[in-house]
């Protein structure tokens, strides 16, 4: 199988076939990789090298940040943080048409920035805001679409697990620079959803307004300040060099635990459940990382990345190359979840982007933004599934209402792609690049 095209066809054909048959993603990655690997190496050598690549893929101190941030996010989710952030979001968005929809978006941005998880944001915020919006007469499919479209802001606004993964797979792109670079694109994503939500709300007459007295507003802000303080401590500590991203993740766990104990909204038994859930989720992500090391190695020896790069670079036009890359990544996001997509396709597309003059930090933000949009689309959108489940709706009931948000977010994605300042402005301002 000397032809890279044949190797790519067998590799990805077997991978998607196994997925459609219901195989776990990690198993599909390893199995399809071995199928191609034995065409280039003796079977016993292929098995030995694959095992070696799986272990070496996890041999990284940076990876410790992932289970720590997952645990911190879960503690914040169950420890009474979400409701305080939602109250703050209602205060900020309460004077806009369709105020509860804007509250949903702002709350997802705030909670996502603290938990680092779009799924956790969709569940926590959607579960609280959904009943409130129904009571105010908002259409359930509209409310669900707003929640689903805004939840991915949490994977851009730091701390962000996917950005840590990208840093690892890309060969050591600065996590500090990636974190700071995610703020403007993440806020752009949220603002885009708010614009679309506001236009629809105005047309439908969703004009409920939330009013608070100055005293109530001050109380809401004070209640939310400790949660927002986590962002200042974690990101501030990374930027000024007090601790690394991995150490920041451990600090985040301690901060979340202290805050949760202060709020007294979680029982000791619930803490045990939180640790178990975080351990299971961390193990699944780490196994995905280990599995992707095998696929990356097989793609390299088969020459697949070079073949794809040569094909795309034939256009020799920056605008067309980036447009094709985004289109490919959007389609990939329809069928593959964000974590395996980052692990598998970063080694393929990053060299192309660098050859066209794109900074790795900007590419990382573009990649995560793109795959975040994919997480809200069928058939494999994890945020879509969670948002529909929380709203009590079928996926087909939400697909049409979510289309305006999807197209608007694609426009925002193109802005991030073609306007480097949106990603690189803040890291350069803070001297991280």
What is 243-287 written as a DSSP string?
Answer: S-HHHHHHHHHHHHHHHHHHHT-S-HHHHHHHHHHHHHHHHHHHH
Peptide bond into 334 cis (omega under 30): no
Q: What is the reported pTM? A: 0.83
CA dist list (Å): 385 to 82, 145, 380, 396: 20, 11, 8, 11
Peptide bond into 159 cis (omega under 30): yes
Give me the mean pLDDT over the 325-349 stretch.
Answer: 84
**Domains contained in the chain, number:** 1
Q: 170 is written with which tokens?
A: 């890309």
Q: Are 125 and 86 in contact (CB under 8 A)?
A: yes
Q: How big is the chain by its Cα radius of gyration, in Å?
A: 22
Q: Report d(CA 110, CA 416) in Å as an integer.
A: 21
Q: Are 378 and 384 in contact (CB under 8 A)?
A: yes
Q: Are 334 and 370 in contact (CB under 8 A)?
A: no
Residue 209 clears pLDDT 70, i.e. is over it: no
pLDDT of the residue at 402: 92
Phi, psi of 172 (to 5 degrees): 105, 25
Give me the mean pLDDT over the 336-344 stretch.
Answer: 81
Q: Are 406 and 377 in contact (CB under 8 A)?
A: yes
Q: How many CA atoms lie within 13 A of 358 on its CB side?
A: 26
Give me the mean pLDDT over the 44-67 stretch.
Answer: 78
- Residue bearing tokens 């097989």: 298
Buried b (16+ CB within 10 A) or exposed e, 92-127: bbbebbbbbbbbbbbbbbbbbbbbbbbbbbbbbbbe
Of all residues in the chain, the percent with pLDDT exceeding 70 is 93
Give the lowest-confidence range in 4-13, 54-63, 291-300, 354-363. 54-63
Residue 80 clears pLDDT 70, i.e. is over it: no
Q: How many CA atoms lie within 13 A of 252 on its CB side?
A: 35
Give the SS3 label for residue 376.
Answer: coil
CA dist list (Å): 382 to 33, 151, 152: 24, 11, 10
Residue 333 clears pLDDT 90, i.e. is over it: no
pLDDT of the residue at 323: 92
Give 266-296 pLDDT, tens digit per residue: 677 888 888 888 888 788 878 877 887 788 7
Q: For residue 254, how many other CB atoms are within 10 A of its CB?
A: 13
Q: Which domain holds residue 278?
A: 4-429
Give 127-171 pLDDT, tens digit per residue: 777 787 787 788 888 989 998 998 888 888 887 778 888 988 888
Residue 1 clears pLDDT 70, i.e. is over it: no
Q: Report d(CA 174, CA 419) in Å as an integer.
A: 20
Kindly indicate the confidence band of residue 87, based on its pLDDT and cuts at 50, 70 and 90: confident
Compute the mean pLDDT over every residue in the chain, rounded to the nearest whole number. Answer: 82
Q: Which of 297, 315, 306 is nearest to 348 (CA)?
A: 306
Give the SS3 label for residue 25.
Answer: helix
pLDDT of the residue at 370: 93
- Residue bearing tokens 């982007």: 353
pLDDT of the residue at 116: 67
């Amino acid at each position: 199988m000397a032809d890279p095209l044949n190797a790519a066809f067998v590799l990805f054909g077997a991978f998607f076939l196994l997925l459609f048959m219901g195989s776990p993603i990690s198993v599909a990655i390893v199995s399809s990789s071995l199928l191609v690997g034995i065409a280039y190496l003796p079977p016993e050598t292929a098995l030995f090298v694959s095992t070696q690549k799986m272990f070496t893929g996890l041999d990284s101190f940076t990876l410790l940040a992932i289970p720590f941030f997952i645990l911190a996010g879960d503690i914040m989710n169950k420890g009474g943080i979400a409701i305080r952030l939602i109250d703050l979001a209602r205060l900020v968005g309460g004077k806009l048409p369709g105020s509860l929809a804007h509250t949903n978006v702002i709350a997802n941005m705030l909670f996502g920035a603290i938990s680092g998880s779009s799924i956790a944001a969709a569940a926590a915020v959607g579960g609280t805001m959904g009943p409130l919006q129904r009571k105010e007469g908002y259409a359930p499919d509209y409310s669900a679409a707003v929640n689903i479209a805004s939840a991915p802001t949490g994977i851009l606004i730091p701390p962000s697990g996917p950005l840590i993964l990208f840093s690892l797979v890309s060969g050591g792109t600065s996590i500090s620079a990636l974190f700071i670079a995610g703020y403007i694109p993440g806020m752009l994503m949220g603002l885009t959803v708010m614009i679309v939500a506001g236009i629809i709300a105005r047309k439908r007459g969703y004009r409920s307004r939330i009013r608070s007295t100055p005293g109530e507003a001050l109380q809401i802000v004070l209640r939310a300040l400790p949660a927002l303080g986590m962002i200042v401590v974690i990101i501030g500590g990374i930027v000024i060099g007090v601790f690394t991203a991995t150490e920041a993740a451990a600090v985040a766990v301690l901060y979340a635990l202290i805050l949760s104990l202060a709020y007294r909204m979680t029982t000791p038994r619930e803490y045990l459940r939180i640790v178990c859930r975080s351990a299971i989720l961390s193990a699944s992500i780490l196994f995905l990382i280990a599995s992707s090391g095998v696929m990356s190695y097989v793609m390299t020896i088969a020459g697949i990345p070079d073949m794809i790069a040569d094909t795309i670079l034939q256009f020799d036009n920056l605008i067309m190359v980036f447009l094709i890359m985004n289109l490919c990544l959007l389609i990939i996001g329809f069928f593959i979840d964000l974590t395996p997509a980052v692990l598998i396709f970063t080694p393929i597309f990053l060299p192309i982007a660098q050859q066209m003059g794109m900074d790795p930090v900007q590419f990382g933000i573009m990649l995560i933004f793109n795959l975040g949009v994919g997480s809200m689309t069928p058939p494999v959108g994890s945020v879509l599934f969670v948002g529909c489940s929380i709203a009590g709706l079928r996926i087909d009931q939400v697909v049409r209402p979510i289309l305006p948000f999807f197209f608007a977010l694609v426009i925002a994605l193109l802005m991030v792609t073609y306007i480097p300042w949106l990603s690189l402005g803040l890291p350069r301002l803070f001297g991280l690049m």
